[in-house]
Amino acid sequence: MAEIRSLRDAVAGLVHSGDTVAMEGFTHLIPFAAAHEMIRQRVTDLTLVRMTPDVIYDQLIGMGAARKLVFSWGGNPGVGSLHRFRDAVENGWPRPLELDEHSHAGMANRYVAGASRLPFAVLRGYRGSDLPSRSATISTVVCPFTGEELAAVAAINPDVTVIHAQRADRDGNVQLWGLVGVQKEAALAASRVLVTVEEIVDDLTPAPGAVVLPSWTVDAVALAPNGAHPSYAAGYTVRDNGFYQSWDAVSRDRDAFLRWMDENVLEEAR
Amino acid sequence: MTWTSDELMTVNAARALAGARTCFVGIGLPSAAANLARRTIEPGLVLIYESGTLGSKPSRLPLSIGDGELADTADAVVSVPEIFNYWLQAGRIDVGFLGAAQVDRYANVNTTVIDRGPGRPEGRLPGAGGAPEIAASCGKVLLVLRHSPRNLVGELDFVTTVGHGDGPGSRARLGLPGAGPVAVITDLGIMRPDPETAELTLTDVHPGTTAGQAVAATGWPLAVAGDLRVTEPPTEAELTALRRLAQGAPDA
Model pLDDT for residues A238-256, shown as the tens digit of each residue: 999 999 999 999 999 999 9
What distance in Å separates the CA atoms of residue B40 and residue B23, rounded to the nearest whole number? 15
Of B50, B133, B199, B238, which is the active-site residue?
B50
Phi and psi dihedrals of B99, rounded to 5? -95, 180
C-alpha angle B146-B152-B154 in degrees, rounded to nearest 5: 175
In a domain, B252, yes or no: no
Say if residues B80 and A108 touch (Cβ distance below 8 Å).
Answer: yes
CB atoms within 10 A of CB B245: 23
| pLDDT computed for residue B251 by the predictor | 52
Say if residues A182 and A115 touch (Cβ distance below 8 Å).
Answer: no
> Architecture of A3-102+157-269 per CATH?
3-Layer(aba) Sandwich (3.40)
Chain B closest CA to A246's CA: distance in Å? 13
In a domain, B249, yes or no: no
Predicted interface score ipTM higher than 0.90: yes
In a domain, B162, yes or no: yes
Active site residue B50: yes
Q: Give residue-wise pLDDT tens across range B41-51.
A: 999 999 999 99
| pLDDT computed for residue B26 by the predictor | 85
Cβ-Cβ contacts under 8 Å for B220 (sequence gap 6 or more): B104, B105, B152, B153, B154
Nearest-Cα residue of chain A relative to residue B84: A105
The ranges assigned to domains in chain A are 3-102+157-269, 104-154
Indicate if the pLDDT at residue A47 is higher than 60: yes
Nearest by CB to residue A129, choosing from B66, B122, B160, is B160
In a domain, B80, yes or no: yes
Nearest by CB to residue B63, choosing from A89, A180, A244, is A244
Predicted confidence band of residue A270 (pLDDT cuts 50, 70, 90): low
Q: Give residue-wise pLDDT tens across range B78-97.
A: 999 999 999 999 999 999 99
The reported pTM is 0.97
Residue A148, Cβ density class (10 Å: 0-12 exposed, 13-18 middle, ≥19 buried): exposed
Chain A closest CA to B170's CA: distance in Å? 9
Cβ-Cβ contacts under 8 Å for A213 (sequence gap 6 or more): A165, A173, A174, A176, A184, A187, A193, A195
Q: Which domain holds residue B83?
A: 5-244
User: What does the pLDDT average to over A21-42?
Assistant: 98
In a domain, B58, yes or no: yes
Say yes or no for a CB contact (<8 Å) between A124 and B136. yes
**Arithmetic mean of pLDDT over chain B:** 95
Chain A closest CA to B153's CA: distance in Å? 17
What total of structural domains would you count in chain B?
A: 1
Residue type, B245: L
Cβ-Cβ contacts under 8 Å for A33 (sequence gap 6 or more): A7, A164, A196, A224, A226, A227, A228, A229
CATH number at residue B66: 3.40.1080.10
DSSP-derived 3-state class of residue A66:
strand
Indicate if the pLDDT at residue B61 is higher than 90: no
Predicted confidence band of residue A269 (pLDDT cuts 50, 70, 90): low
Predicted confidence band of residue B63 (pLDDT cuts 50, 70, 90): confident
What distance in Å separates the CA atoms of residue B50 and residue A207, rounded to the nearest whole number? 22
What are the residue ranges of helices labelled H in chain B? 5-15, 29-39, 68-72, 80-82, 131-137, 170-174, 211-216, 236-246
Give the β-pairing of A138-142 and A120-123.
unpaired
CB atoms within 10 A of CB B11: 26
In a domain, B123, yes or no: yes
| pLDDT computed for residue B252 by the predictor | 44
Q: Which residues of B touch A124 (CB under 8 A)?
A: 89, 133, 136-137, 175, 177
What distance in Å separates the CA atoms of residue A141 and residue B212, rounded to the nearest whole number? 48
Predicted confidence band of residue A268 (pLDDT cuts 50, 70, 90): low
In a domain, B250, yes or no: no
Say yes or no for a CB contact (<8 Å) between B89 and A241. no
